[in-house]
Structure 1
Amino acid sequence: MRRIVLTTLSFLAIFTAAAQTPRRTAQTDSILKNMTTASRFDTVAVPVIDKPLVFNQNYIYKLRLDSIAKTVPLSYNEYVQSFIDIYSRRKDMMGKMLGLSQYYFPIFEKALKAYNIPAEIKYLPIIESSMNPHAISRVGATGMWQFMFGTAKAYGLNMDNFVDERKDPIQASYAAAAYFRDAYEELGDWLLAIAAYNCGKGNVTRAMEKAGSRDFWEIRPFLPRETRDYVPAFIAAVYVMHYSNTHDIVMQTPAINYKTDTVLVNRFVALADVAKAINHEEATLFGLNPSYKKKIVNGTDQLPKRIILPRVEQVNYAKLFEVLNADIEVDKEIVLASTDDVRDLRKKGLANKSKTAIAKTNIHKVKLGQNLTIIANLYKVEVQDLKVWNNLKGTTVIPGQQLKVHGTVKEEAKAPLKATYITYKVKIGDTLSGIAEKFDGATVANIKKINKLTKASIQAGMVLKINKG
């Protein structure tokens, strides 16, 4: 009898243990296998979650991401989970993103649709700039979409002493959409195109060659450190924006919360005057039109400029009409901006040491009432240049302070360019945007048009015509 009882108890213990063990399916086995493979690679940049991806715990995140995914694949792994943990804890930040998305997402979606780009790309400005049109990175990337100076020029954005279109949510969104069209044509994968937006198509191509793969997660160890995190962060941002309620994230009402009208003007108009005419604060107008550096809209008959306004009440129509049709007294000379790419400025500094005429340095003593904008206009340079040359972290200067001012950008900008074609032989690793950045006045669109290219993909050995005029 004792032997029978012991045997029965042993059987029950085995049965109970088996019942408590999670049932493994082919799908969960596949996930665990992928985790094991991924863990062999670098995980220093992204924290590794403490618990494995098992059905009863984190598998729910994969199911949620699968339910969101449309065109861009929203993979789930420990890298993505780590950023979901980070963003879901930043409730204040993500609440602000939900609020800003009400105004900015329709702008992004319209531009992306125009180039047949997946709507999911609209979430990128969250991790790029927290949807701040005035964001500037430590190397000079500017605006919501964080365009570097050279890439911005290559995609047709204009930067001069009146305007920086990288800060224009509308113009910059169309330029970003054009970039993604070209990146996808060249790379054939949306996650690779997103990675290229962060580190350049050349870096992604080289990583693909080293890894012998076209899968982002396989080439990830060969990409720059920031880019390894960039794609997982994007996927996590998409997840948190969709499942904000699940993580107790509450949408915050944004400062820009208006129904708007758009007008085109062919005069030089001050935003302050427009604001007064429609009974709004100047800050409101500048918030809606962040690309106008001097808060002056420099419209002309040849090139009218856009002003976005809060919905205007009928009683203010006459005052607004009067302001929009009266030129203000201001120096109307347009001076093309010089690069604000810190890396290019450093290279220029080294190159200019051997050229006395260009290396000439002026010392400006700040006078009472002057600020960086006034000083920059005086020497025909950019505020960003002054900040870099003088190691200024902010924009505050005081009377008596001495500032270094290099070169004469005005003369360089006005130097005539010959409207002639030159030829360029494509090298291994070249991209259209990279080639456009090498030549003044060249853009991706112009190169494609001149060479009758229907796609952005190019091959080593091709000879392209470049219009420098």
Structure 2
Amino acid sequence: MPFLSKKLILCFSIVSFYFLSFNCARAQVAMTDTTKSIPEPENMDVFAESLDSLVNMWYMSTNPGLVVDTIYDDFIAEGNKTSDSVYIERLNNIVSPFELNYNNHVKAYINLYTQKRREQVESMLGLSAYYFPMFEQALDAYGLPLELKYLPVIESALNPRAFSRAGASGLWQFMYYTGKQYGLNINSYVDERRDPHKSTLAAVKFLSDLYDIYGDWQLVIAAYNCGPGNVNRAIRRSGGKRNFWEIFYLLPRETRGYVPAFIAATYTFIYHKEHNIIPKAAKLPLATDTVMISKPLHFSQVAEMLDMPVDIIRHLNPQYRKDIIPAQKESYPLRLAFDRSTTFATLEDSIYTHNREKYFTSNQLVVKPGSSSGSSFSPPPGKEKIYYTVKSGDVVGLIADWFDVYSSSLRYWNNIRRNMIRVGQKLAIFVDKDKVDYYKSIARQKSGYSAPSSQQLASASEDGDYIYHTVGRGDSVWSIAREYPGVSDSDILRLNNISNAQKIKPGQRLKIKPKS
């Protein structure tokens, strides 16, 4: 009995020791990490669906035909075995003014980015090559942490056209009144919340103001998401605590996942190679420049004159809601690829007048219609119109070189599509006024035209009351008319009852004019 009592006492002591040790360990964990007991995020599915939608709206539209790759299944399965200690070590190795905590909540978002939504992350990594440099430049100018560039990743998935159910818009998801407060112009034609450059500057100012209030970056990020009012209310209800994790349950549900998502995004973008996540390049030019627009302009005018897809113009200038730059009383910026911006400067007057009646006759924007396109186009200042007749073997690029003009200008002046020109076609060309005679001689030389001679008129014959002409290879109604002084192409069409000038063919006999 005494022996049994001693054994019972020993067992009780051992159990008590482990019980006390377990509770001490729990207490120590609670002191070092207040979030181990936080459950999985309640809105993870909603967040994942939103991420899919935002990336697909933006990235997939710039990469038509993109096929999602499924070769990573084995790697994803292996990724589930990544230990917490590895995540903790990697987060600790990031040099940052942010406190990059690790807990179940953060882990859930890391798994979302690195495993469940790998393809979307690869797309955003591709877009980051375009957007992150402008974010970093603005953040650096205000002395803010460069890690804040990851905020638009969780705000908009780097989609400048993102629009939330609550009414927030753009890369940085500004609400209407906050955007106006920070100087962003918002009207029927322009929403600068969607302007990557201007909205970034506004966001940097807003973040700087928030840091002046809280002096803690996790609270700043939370306030950016739900507003200072909600954060202040949570602080008051907590009895004045100013630690994000201590006021966690007093914040709106969406904001509870916001800071963990930010930490996870920071981790994923820095360690994406360790998870075999490869950036998918976005079809956006990295070298861009801005031209100032002083008259109302439609994106299609620019696209047609610069021979570029209108979608690229939209992606580079998402702030314009209706493809219209409403520059009536003030100038507006137009961002283009660097090489296109220099071409724009050369063709600016032509671009403004191109198809103007087509794009500005509606009530969307009241603009005085300009000149129509084609050969009736009014000469730019200091220019005069001459003509060149296309001969066999001519191409648009060569003709443009002969007259020292851009191929795009020549196509525009003559409504040329796909560089298609035909023998005998009369092309209008605008040249310097002080060099008109020189370029006219070039036109005669290159087209092989000179004043009509008896040899050139050999194909003409007199029959009855009319002079006739037998159509040769390469002839057009217009080129034939030029061989007979006082005769126009319309005269020939009328005399021969021809409604379509394209239908004449070699060997055909045409009435030219009555005998005098």
With the length of structure 2 as denominator, give the TM-score of the two structures: 0.54
- The residue matched to 1:38 in structure 2 has which SS? coil
1:38 aligned residue:
35
2:261 to 224, 233, 248: 233
Compared with structure 1, are the counterparts of its residues 235 and 37 closer, same or farther at alpha carbon in structure 2 (3 Å cutoff)? closer
C-alpha distance in 2 between matches for 1:118 and 1:314? 33
Kept in 2: contact 1:274–1:323 (CA 8 A): no
1:41-440 alignment runs, 5 A limit: 41=38, 43=40, 45=42, 57-89=83-115, 90-211=117-238, 212-300=240-328, 303-312=330-339, 316-317=343-344, 320-323=347-350, 326=353, 328=356, 330=360
1:298 CA drift (Å): 1.9
2:490 aligned residue:
none
1:311 CA drift (Å): 2.2
C-alpha distance in 2 between matches for 1:284 and 1:144? 17
Kept in 2: contact 1:297–1:305 (CA 8 A): yes
1:240 CA drift (Å): 0.5
1:347 aligned residue:
none
Kept in 2: contact 1:277–1:319 (CA 8 A): no
Larger Rg: 2
Compared with structure 1, are the counterparts of its residues 71 and 233 closer, same or farther at alpha carbon in structure 2 (3 Å cutoff)? same
1:154 CA drift (Å): 1.3
Compared with structure 1, are the counterparts of its residues 257 and 317 closer, same or farther at alpha carbon in structure 2 (3 Å cutoff)? closer
- The residue matched to 1:307 in structure 2 has which SS? strand
Deviations 1:173-192 (A, max 9, x none): 11111110111111111110
Compared with structure 1, are the counterparts of its residues 102 and 37 closer, same or farther at alpha carbon in structure 2 (3 Å cutoff)? closer
Q: What code does the residue aligned with 1:220 have?
A: F
Q: What code does the residue aligned with 1:256 have?
A: L
C-alpha distance in 2 between matches for 1:280 and 1:229? 42
Compared with structure 1, are the counterparts of its residues 81 and 278 closer, same or farther at alpha carbon in structure 2 (3 Å cutoff)? same
1:31 CA drift (Å): 7.8
1:160 CA drift (Å): 0.7
- The residue matched to 2:242 in structure 1 has which SS? coil
- The residue matched to 1:181 in structure 2 has which SS? helix
1:307 CA drift (Å): 0.6
2:445 aligned residue:
none
1:433 aligned residue:
none
C-alpha distance in 1 between matches for 2:173 and 2:342? 39
- The residue matched to 2:184 in structure 1 has which SS? coil
Deviations 1:184-234 (A, max 9, x none): 111111110100011000111111122231111111111011100000001
Kept in 2: contact 1:273–1:323 (CA 8 A): no
Deviations 1:414-445 (A, max 9, x none): xxxxxxxxxxxxxxxxxxxxxxxxxxxxxxxx
1:315 CA drift (Å): 8.9
C-alpha distance in 1 between matches for 2:160 and 2:177? 18
C-alpha distance in 1 between matches for 2:364 and 2:148? 38
C-alpha distance in 2 between matches for 1:194 and 1:235? 11
Query: Over the residues paired in the alignment, what is the CA RMSD in angstroms?
Result: 2.7
C-alpha distance in 2 between matches for 1:46 and 1:37? 21
Deviations 1:26-81 (A, max 9, x none): xx99983457742445655278xxxxxxxx93122122112223222222222111
C-alpha distance in 1 between matches for 2:259 and 2:127? 22
Structure 1 runs not aligned, ≥5 long: 1-23, 48-55, 335-469
1:92 CA drift (Å): 0.4
C-alpha distance in 2 between matches for 1:75 and 1:311? 42
- The residue matched to 1:61 in structure 2 has which SS? helix
- Ranked by relative contact order (alpha carbons within 8 Å, sequence separation 6 or more), the top structure is 1
State percent identity of aligned pairs.
40
1:371 aligned residue:
none
- The residue matched to 1:262 in structure 2 has which SS? strand
C-alpha distance in 2 between matches for 1:277 and 1:105? 31
Deviations 1:291-335 (A, max 9, x none): 1111111225x632111111226994576322455595635869x
1:101 CA drift (Å): 0.3
Compared with structure 1, are the counterparts of its residues 188 and 176 closer, same or farther at alpha carbon in structure 2 (3 Å cutoff)? same
C-alpha distance in 2 between matches for 1:194 and 1:314? 37
Kept in 2: contact 1:267–1:324 (CA 8 A): no
Kept in 2: contact 1:91–1:248 (CA 8 A): no
Q: What code does the residue aligned with 2:35 have?
A: A
Kept in 1: contact 2:159–2:171 (CA 8 A): yes
With the length of structure 1 as denominator, give the TM-score of the two structures: 0.59
